[in-house]
Amino acid sequence: MIIPLSRICAIGFEDTLKIALPISGMCGIIGAMDYREIVSGEARGVTASAARAGLTALEAIYAPVVALRNCWYDFVPGAARRVDVPVVSVGNVTMGGTGKTPLTAAVVERAVSRGVKTAIISRGYHAKPGELNDEGKELTTRIPDCIYVQNPKRAQAAAALCAEASSRPQLIVLDDGFQHRRLARQLDIVLVDALNPFGYNRICPRGFLRESLYSLRRAQCVVITRADRVSDSELEQIEQQVLSYNRNLILARACHRPGVLRRLSGQTEQLYSVAGKRVMAFCGLGNPDAFRQTVESLDCNIAAFKAYPDHHLYSASDEKEITALAEEVKADAVVCTMKDFVKLSPALLQAPIPVYGIEIEMAFLSGEAEFWTLVDSVIAEFC
């Protein structure tokens, strides 16, 4: 059976990952080791070398498919579906978190504050049927005035929104949309994590790159996140490499920092509310140490810290454990990430010991004026 070229090129990036990542399990070889240690080269020995060889072979298959797909959207008229409202994409070129949620929230909040009816469309990773995932719950809690849609077929979702008079937005923001090329957009913002900017310079599954860095040619802006965690010389090297692919980019540097504390009622409190107090902290993240550092920055006393698996769903027994631990250490407050906070039951959030979700904000270190001028130009031109 011959599969038409158009069908191959229309395969979504997420669909290719579904094929590449399970295969990259290498029949259990990688499952017994840390994937990051293997692709970074930190893992040594015969098994690690064999795993890297297998991943290199898979990269040689996967990378051309992604390149062919990009060529299709670059050169075939009408390959990308257009809707008659402006679309802004916030995405990245590597797998893993780069801080898209705080920046997406910042862009949407700016539009909403100016009276622009705004919709966020995301794929909805790890979402249960009929429910929002962690990021969806966090964004709708933070920005209740926006329209939020989760649908793997984002081009169809955008068309459906625009077709309904009651739901028709004036602006669509794609959360993690750089590789979702079926929907045309007016602005592509790409985030690059300063701690691992180029995914070990190898394409998935051999490295963390989702596609070749040549894809930066179709972006208009790159924001280097976690820029406060590396030296100025390292940042300059990252910027030079980015600009080598696209000299016309607007560059900005940014970092993540806690903004406010949120309660179940939706009310917010200032960070100094927990300063000097005994705090029990917990999270379900891939990098719990990063959250611990965030809590430490609040000038509180961390009496206990509990780490759960990434994207953890909290059961009644988990919440009892959290409550018991907070009582045991005589905590004055319990704090967690917003992604954890939105998954907690009202029973825990209404407990005698106050429970706070820490809302993380994106703070610009440089390039802020140029960044917002670019975003505002899209809003002003089309809205």
Can you name the residues that pair with 91 across neighbouring β-strands?
Answer: 190
Q: What is the pLDDT of residue 33?
A: 54
Give me the residues of the chain with pLDDT under 70, please.
Answer: 1-33, 382-383
Computed from CA positions of residues 16, 22, 26, 30, in that sequence, does the dihedral angle turn out positive or negative?
positive
How many residues comprise the chain?
Answer: 383
Give, in degrees to the nearest 5, the angle at Cα 53 between 48 and 56: 125
Name residue, tokens 């240690």: 37
pTM value is 0.86
CA distance 365 to 356: 27
Q: Report DSSP state, residue 194.
A: T
pLDDT in tens, 236-274: 999 999 999 999 999 999 999 999 999 887 788 999 999
SS3 72: helix
Q: What is the pLDDT of residue 23?
A: 45
User: Burial level of 361, CB count in 10 A (0-12/13-18/19+)?
Assistant: middle
CA distance 186 to 171: 11
pLDDT computed for residue 66 by the predictor? 94
Given a contact cutoff of 8 angstroms between Cβ atoms, the answer to whether 182 and 174 are in contact is no
Report the pLDDT value the prediction gives residue 14, as an integer from 0 to 100: 52
SS3 of residue 106 by DSSP: helix
DSSP β-ladder status, 250-262 and 355-366: antiparallel
Q: Is the separation of the CB atoms in 246 and 213 below 8 Å?
A: no
Residues with Cβ within 8 Å of residue 134, at least 6 apart in sequence? 126, 311, 339, 342, 343
Q: What is the rounded distance in angstroms from the CA atom of residue 91 to the CA atom of residue 176?
A: 4
Enclosing H/E stretch for 188:
strand 187-193
**In this predicted model, what pLDDT tens digit does every residue of 303-346 receive, in sequence order?**
999 999 888 889 999 999 999 999 999 999 999 999 899 999 98
Nearest to 227 by CA among 257, 202, 259: 257
Question: Distance (Å, rounded) from C-alpha 184 to C-alpha 74?
Answer: 11
The total of other beta-carbon atoms located within 10 Å of residue 21's CB is 15
Cα–Cα dist 133/109, whole Å: 20
| Predicted local distance difference test score (pLDDT) of residue 28 | 46
Query: What pLDDT sits at residue 172?
Result: 97
CA separation for the pair 39, 169 (Å, rounded):
42
Residue 122: what are its φ and ψ, rounded to 5°? -135, 165
**Which residues, 6 or more positions from 17, have their beta carbon under 8 angstroms from its beta carbon?**
204
